[in-house]
Structure 1
Amino acid sequence: MSLRGGDPEEIGGYPLEARLGSGGMGTVFLARTASGRPVAIKLIHQQFAGDEEFRIRFRQEVAAARRVSGAFTAAVIDADPEAAHPWMATTYIEGHTLAQRIAEQGPIGGAELRTLAIGLTEALRDIHRARVVHRDLKPSNVVLSPEGPRVIDFGISRAADQQTLTMTGRVIGTPPFMSPEQLQAPRGVGPRSDVFSLGTLLVYAATGQGPFDADSPYMTAYQVVHEPPSLGSVPAVLRKVVEPCLAKDPKDRPSADELLVRLRDLPTDLGTAAVEGAARPTCETDTQHHLAGEDTSTPIASPAKSASATGPRSGKRRRLRPVLAAAVAVAAIGGGVALMRTDAPGEPGGTGDKGRNVAATGDPLPRGFEPWRKQVRGGRADIPDELRCEARGDALFCGGGGVVATRLRIADGTRVWTRKSPGVPVQGMHLVGVTDDTVLGYRFAAEGAPGGGATDVVAVDADKGKELWSVRSGSQSTAVTGRTQDAVVSGSLVVTVDASNSRFEARQAHSGHVAWTTPFPAAAECAPLPAGGRLYAMCAPRVEVEAGAVRHSVVYEIGRGSGRLGKGVPVPGPVQPVGSVDGDVVLLRQRVKGPELLGYEGVARVDTDARKVSYAPLPTPYEGTPAVAGGTVYITGRTGLVRALDPATGKRKWSRQTGLEGASGPVAADGTLYFSSASGRVAALRERGGAKLWHTDPRADGVSGEMNASPRVTVAGRAAIVTGAENTVFAFDTAKPPESE
């Protein structure tokens, strides 16, 4: 919602753009840092500024939020609890709350429920590892961001080794999701209280009702303390795990670590509620950044779902959220990679009882190759991210997150060199690319440093790991194309957007010598677009980019030698580029409702030589992560369903369930497609017909349901190199995938 009369124009030097919500204790505003990053600022109501007890509580909230920044939460960017008008700025998390999700769509089931349960449990585990007890875990304090669930609002949390602050004469919390000890002895509340709240939260997610619901808060509180939980509608496999969390005695409940182990062993599909629980409106404030401390509050509209990660482009320079909380688990760390049969006997392409299929390839392995697993640490250990890799000969070059670039040996994973980044990474920005002698990566400047929050493109010598040169990069690509790709490698050149977002700049990759510069077309914003060995630009009217509603894109071919733009080919939108086929740029037409992406409804191919666009509608709108491989368009859904589409006709060639949550890909090699999730699970399918060959166990704690993730698999001969969350890299022989234990 827009700012109101009397609202400040800025807080702490951050210009305000809009109200996100208001409650009994304060108001939350959308603002931006100097580099353009969106932040949420909580401004405490003036009448509480003179209340010392409240100030203590607000200081406690700031301290607790700082302690867990980077672990599934809204990271604290800045704060001033001592100001005349106290405030705190955190990373802006886009997405609906769990309360909204249940109210609008009903209970959650199947693989989505398992993913939510694991993600929340891992979030709670990391909060507790930071020695913080949340004390108000409830549906409106869980944001379902495109990167996974985020826990917000530490307004009544405390450090585990501090005295509990309880406002005079009041027990603070939300009865349906409070533990018995919170209601009876709040000063004795510990981490297992949060486990109890998590149990109630999972029951609510699965059934639409809490396990102790009653007609009044007083009866609810009585049932929490004295009565057994109502779990009849909870799917049976989940009920066995949730029930111990709801024990009256904290000592009888599992820890978050123990709970995570139990959840990990559950089947992928948890089923649905035995008796459909009707989703009921709640009296909680469904604002994205809930304001703690209200017994009642005025309901406000929740912000729309993320457009930068799951839908059409939004405002200028809007990228995906910084990866300060990018490790929501799809599945916990497993042992070795294990082969798992995924096809029924007799299914075409299935293994059945006759043995196993393997990826067909005759290419050799690097000399001395043995399966390996490594973790590449970046510039900040508290902000792990995913890497992306490219293979050149016997060398593997990777980058992403806190790593500008690193070189590993494909044969055994030995690290040759690493260049680190000190700043806060941006989701989706990994390695720019590799030439014969140079590796190009991104370096993120730290907040508070000169140019804080900005991004540089850095050239590194491929042999020695020495930095050769760097240049400040613009940041408009997500707003224009829906993909975070601010620089591209084309031949021996690296093409960037200048820091003022007004022109392309091409440099020789190794020397940094400027080969050419090309201004954007008048009144347009542009992003570079490599496709099939050619170089393109995708541009959109600046006014549409600023409004976050691009509907009139234009594709230009760029002369790689001269930088000259060819004649533009208009493409009605909204569209998103996904790759190329036979030199044509392939885009998917988006179906949108306001800022929300409802799916992809057609395939467009742009032939810049003939200056024409061919369009084929899809049979039905498809949701998921799109990509092009081997002349086919693939869309991979959040739960792992892959659809293969003909780019000329839009007709579906085949569809197959991989079982991988949030899978990206594919990478095609020798007739085999490789998909992988942030947890490091890999699925191999035959390119023709999509028959399933095998898939592996998790190898990292990974994000579920990330949209538009770039492929995580690199194939070098018979070796598959896979990246996962927390900068994990591992390799194995595709012709000999590990057997089940």
Structure 2
Amino acid sequence: MSLRGGDPEEIGGYPLEARLGSGGMGTVFLGRSASGRPVAIKLIHQQFADDDEFRIRFRQEVAAARRVSGAFTAAVIDADPEAAHPWMATTFIEGPTLAQRIAEQGPIGGAELRRLAIGLTEALRDIHRAGVVHRDLKPSNVVLSPEGPRVIDFGISRAADQQTLTMTGRVIGTPPFMSPEQLQAPRGVGPRSDVFSLGTLLVYAATGQGPFDADSPYMTAYQVVHEAPSLGAVPDALRRVVEPCLAKDPDERPSADDLLVRLRDLPTDLGGVSAVGADARCTRETDTQHHLVTDDTPVPAPLASPAADEASEHAPRRPRRRLRSVLAAVVAVAVIGGGAALMRTGDSGADEGGRTVAAANKAPLPEGFRPWRESVAGGRADIPDELRCVARGDALFCGGGGVVATRIRAADGSRVWTEKSPGVPAQGVHLVGVSGDTVLGYRIGTEEQPDSSATEVVALDADKGRELWSAPSGAQSTSVTGRTRDAVVLGSTVVTVDAANSRFEARQARSGRVLWRTPFPAGSKCAPVPAGKRLYAMCAPASEVASTEVRHPVLREAGLASGRLGEAVAVKGPAVPAGTADGGLVLLRERREGPALLGYDGVARVDPASREVSYARLPRTFDGTAGMAGGTLYLTAPTGLVTALDPVTGKKKWSRQTAVEGASGPAPDGAGTLYFSSASGRVAALAARTGKPLFTTDPRADGLAGEVNAAPRVTVMGRVVVVAAARNTVFAFDATKPPRTG
């Protein structure tokens, strides 16, 4: 809605364009940052500005929102809780609220409901991990963005380790979505109170009604405290997961982490809702909301696949037609998420999926192969992590977490040898690589000092696992390239960053003999970047690396024989390397607001011959994990949406919604199939050319979505698909006979 008379023209230097909504505590406006990015600005009502108790509460809201800014919330860009008229600016999230979605279209079902449940639980998990209790989780505080649900408004949240602030004479919250303890003893609420609210929210999403709805707020509050929830219209599979969340006793409810594991085991299609639920409609809430405001894009389909109607992405707004495409997309997602039964083999009229499988059939299985699942114990059994694996012949070498490296037989999963790492695993530090008969991994800490963060690169004999040599390694590449990769293997050469983060060192992989040492350019910090058979040094000013905001990176080709660094090629930053296309290094350009990474909005390609850099914009800003295969760039969103892009032009090739949230990939099989997998071990196989779904498997490990920009978890060995999952789990199956869902 447009600005009203008396509304300010700007807040904190942000010009205002529209009023998004108003509630009891403040008004939210649409503003613009200096870069032109839309921001949501919450301005506290003037009558509260002089209320000391309220100012304390608003400071808590700002602090809480800053602590939980992440993939599932709105990141705080700026704030001034001490201003005469306090305000806070966050990233603007496009999309309707859950309250609006239910009011306008009715209850949610099937695959869309499953994705909503998982997305909200992931959000709650991140909020609680940041030490914050939200305390007001309700439909108007959930925005359905194209990338998944986002939780907003931390107005009555608190740090879990602080005393609750309860405004004098008021019970703060929304009764249909409050926990019993929040109504009875609000100062004692903890994270399990949010789990109760999440349970009520999921019932509301599935049926259009809350589990304790009554004719008045007073009767609703009474039923929350004393009565059993009404769950008759909730799909059976979801009801079994939600019911424990609604226990009256907080100790009997699952944590967000536990709940997420249970939700990931749900079938892709939860089924429809009953006639009672389908006819239910809710009224709009009057609390502060983020509404959909776009310049030239249509109303996004909440949690639906854009692949269903690609042509509509740049079409004029036509809500009724768009609604039909949304429904079609939801049906399509429910069908494609069904699992391995969709894969066809032995059909003379097979489509691309059939030909891909036929090609895989020609690869022989290792003698005596059977599907297997193993857990590799590391040096710190109390801190399990994820491994990464490399195949050589019929041997599989894996490392990461508390494991320097291990050799596994592909046929049955039995281990030949294991070298453990005594220290605390570092996120993203996995196997370095394999060179001939030598395996290279990272070792963190020592037997004498297991809590040390010192890192070494260790060379092991591939046959026996005995240590050949080790060398101290730096640990700064993440700040430079956005990837944890301080050592790389190219042929028979291993290039590392020294422990002082001051130079590159190259060694012969087998013997450890030093081939050359090259200091970093003055005032710079660098990291190695492999690009096919070439090696680049990606460098940035030391001051930018120290502040973790690299905006002026340069690339220099490094001679593998001499270590000599070539002429610097400046790249418009911030940007991170993604892979190679047509022999050139491809980088993704990051979109940031201060330190917050909002996603990727462009690509850059460095031509190795001319040393020129070409740039192209992406269709929109993509968040999630990037990877390349076969000269195509793939971006996987936290919700499981996979998008294939041309790395030179930035144009989209296809998009496909999968059931694999937080996936890493792609892992190609060389026959036209790509594999994407999450930390839970759920695998989706897609046809590389079209994105056609071939199969999806169930989770195989007690894991969560995993970190953003995780390295691919799948290793393909002919017909054998090997998957690394959480808690050092590794399993394998025949690509032509994948584990069926259900």
TM-score range, shorter chain: 0.5 to 0.7
Please state how far the C-alpha of 1:422 moved relative to its aligned partner. 2.2
Q: Does 1:240 align with 2:248?
A: no
Cα deviations by residue, 1:100-140 (Å, 9 ceiling, x for unpaired): 8999676568354222466589999x99xxxxxx9978469
Tell me, which stretches of 5 or more residues in structure 2 are unaligned? Answer: 1-54, 76-89, 99-107, 152-156, 164-168, 289-337
More relative contact order, 1 or 2 (CA 8 Å, 6+ apart): 1
Deviations, residues 597-637 of structure 1 (Å, cap 9, x unaligned): 33333322112332211223333333332211112222222
Distance 1:472 1:432 in 2: 14
Distance 1:152 1:460 in 2: 50
Work out the number of aligned pairs and report it.
587
Query: Structure 1 stretches of 5 or more lacking a match?
Result: 1-21, 31-39, 41-91, 128-133, 158-169, 283-336
Show the counterpart of 2:426. Answer: 426
Residue 553 of structure 1 corresponds to: 553
Over 3 Å counting, the alpha-carbon distance change for 1:431 and 1:271 in structure 2 is farther
Deviation of the 1:415 alpha carbon: 0.6
Q: Which amino acid aligns with 1:523?
A: G
SS in 1 for 2:427: coil
SS at match of 2:239: helix
Identity of aligned residues (%): 57
Which residue does the alignment assign to 2:3?
none
2:659 partner SS: coil
Q: What corresponds to 2:736 in structure 1?
A: 735
Q: What is the deviation of 1:689? A: 2.5
Q: Would the aligned equivalents of 1:139 and 1:201 in 2 still touch at CA under 8 Å? A: no
Equivalent in the alignment of 2:225 = 225
How much has 1:496 moved relative to structure 2?
1.1
> Does structure 2 conserve the Cα–Cα contact (< 8 Å) formed by 1:636 and 1:663?
yes
Q: State the Cα RMSD in Å.
A: 5.4
Give the Cα–Cα distance (whole angstroms) in 1 for the partners of residues 723 and 526 of structure 2. 32
CA distance in 1, matches of 2:451, 2:502: 18
Output the amino acid matched with 2:716: V
Counterpart CA distance in 1 for 2:179 and 2:453 is 41
1:392 is aligned to 392
**Secondary structure of 1:360 counterpart:** helix
C-alpha displacement of 1:389: 0.2
Instruction: Assess, with a 3 A threshold, how the Cα gap between structure 1 residues 182 and 538 changes in structure 2: closer, same or farther.
Output: closer
* Partner-residue secondary structure (3-state), 1:552: coil
Report the counterpart of residue 116 of structure 2 in structure 1. 113
Residues 642/27 of structure 1: CA separation in 2 closer, same or farther (3 Å cut): closer
Work out whether residues 590 and 600 of structure 1, in 8 Å CA contact, stay in contact via their aligned partners in 2.
Answer: yes
Structure 1 137/701 Cα, relative in aligned 2: closer, same or farther at 3 Å?
farther
Aligned to 2:501: 501
Q: Could you tell me how far 1:543 is from its partner in structure 2?
A: 2.6
Q: 1:514 to 1:203 in 2, by over 3 A?
A: farther
Within a 5 Å distance, the mapping from 1:317-332 to structure 2 comes to none
Q: Deviations over 1:49-105 (max 9, x none)?
A: xxxxxxxxxxxxxxxxxxxxxxxxxxxxxxxxxxxxxxxxxxx97637869899967
SS in 1 for 2:571: strand
User: Cα distance, 1:723 vs. partner?
Assistant: 0.9
- Which SS does the other structure have where 1:386 is aligned? coil
1:372-428 Cα distance to aligned partner (Å, 9 max, x none): 111111112221111100011121100111111111011111111111122221222
1:623 aligns with 2:623: yes
Task: Give the direction of change, closer, same or farther, for the CA distance of 1:552–1:241 in structure 2 (3 Å limit).
Answer: same
Letter of the aligned partner of 2:372 in structure 1? W
Moved more, 544-553 or 204-213: 204-213
Residue 402 of structure 2 corresponds to: 402
1:498-537 aligned at under 5 Å gives the runs 498-537=498-537
Is 2:669 aligned against 1:666?
Answer: no
CA distance in 1, matches of 2:445, 2:68: 21
Which whole-Å CA distance do the structure 2 matches of 1:340 and 1:675 have between them? 18
1:717 corresponds to which residue? 718
Match of 1:364 in 2: 364
2:302 corresponds in structure 1 to none
Give the match for residue 70 of structure 2.
95
Q: Which whole-Å CA distance do the structure 1 matches of 2:640 and 2:562 have between them?
A: 43
> Which residue identity is paired with 2:243?
P
Partner of 1:454: 454
CA shift at 1:717, angstroms? Answer: 2.0
Change in 2 beyond 3 A, CA 1:201/1:276? closer
- Distance in 2 (CA, whole Å) between partners of 1:28 and 1:493 is 52
The answer for the alignment partner of 1:653 in structure 2 is 653
Q: Is the 8 A contact 2:703 2:725 kept in 1?
A: yes
Q: Report the CA distance between 1:497 and its aligned residue.
A: 1.0
Shift of 1:279: 7.6
**Residues 552 and 371 (structure 1), Cα distance of their counterparts in 2 relative to 1, 3 Å cut:** same
Partners in 2 of 1:93 and 1:446 — Cα distance? 34
1:591 corresponds to: 591
Q: Is the 8 A contact 2:552 2:574 kept in 1?
A: yes
Aligned-partner residue type, residue 95 of structure 1: G
CA distance in 2, matches of 1:358, 1:653: 24
Q: Distance in 2 between matches of 1:492 and 1:245?
A: 56
The separation in 2 between residues aligned to 1:470 and 1:579, in whole angstroms, is: 28
- Residue deviations 1:329-378, cap 9 Å, x none? xxxxxxxx9724289x9x99488xx9995663522222222211111111
Alignment partner of 1:604 is 2:569: no
Q: Output the CA distance in 1 between the equivalents of 2:607 and 2:718.
A: 33
Judging changes above 3 Å, is the alpha-carbon distance between structure 1 residues 248 and 452 closer, same or farther for their aligned structure 2 residues?
closer
Measure the CA separation in 1 of the matches of 2:132 and 2:217: 17
Please state how far the C-alpha of 1:459 moved relative to its aligned partner.
Answer: 1.9
The alpha-carbon deviation at position 705 of structure 1 amounts to 6.6
The CA distance in 2 between the partners of 1:27 and 1:468, in whole Å, is 54
Would you say 1:478 and 2:478 are equivalent positions?
A: yes
| CA spacing shift, 1:595–1:230, aligned 2, 3 Å | farther
Could you tell me how far 1:469 is from its partner in structure 2?
2.6
- 2:699 is aligned to 698
Residues 191-270 of structure 1 aligned to structure 2 (within 5 Å): 196=196, 199-200=199-200, 222=222, 224-226=224-226, 240-241=239-240, 244-245=243-244, 261=262, 264-267=265-268
Kindly tell me: are residues 281 and 483 of structure 1, through their superposed partners in 2, closer, same or farther at Cα, counting changes over 3 Å?
farther
**C-alpha contact (below 8 Å) 1:359/1:672 kept by paired residues:** no
Change over 3 Å in CA distance of 1:223–1:388 after alignment to 2 = same
Offset at 1:572?
Answer: 1.3
Show the counterpart of 1:682.
683
Structure 1 match to 2:378 = 378
Asked if 2 retains the 8 angstrom alpha-carbon contact of 1:175 and 1:220, the reply is no
Whole-Å Cα distance in 2 between the matches of residues 149 and 379 of structure 1?
A: 37
Question: What is the TM-score normalised by the length of structure 2?
Answer: 0.65
Q: Distance in 1 between matches of 2:430 and 2:568?
A: 29
Change (3 A) 1:469 1:280: farther
- Answer yes or no: is the 8 Å Cα contact 1:209–1:277 preserved in 2: no
After superposition, the Cα gap between the structure-2 partners of 1:136 and 1:29, relative to the gap in structure 1 and judged at 3 Å, is closer
Mapping for residues 262-341 of structure 1, pairs under 5 Å: 264-267=265-268, 339-341=340-342
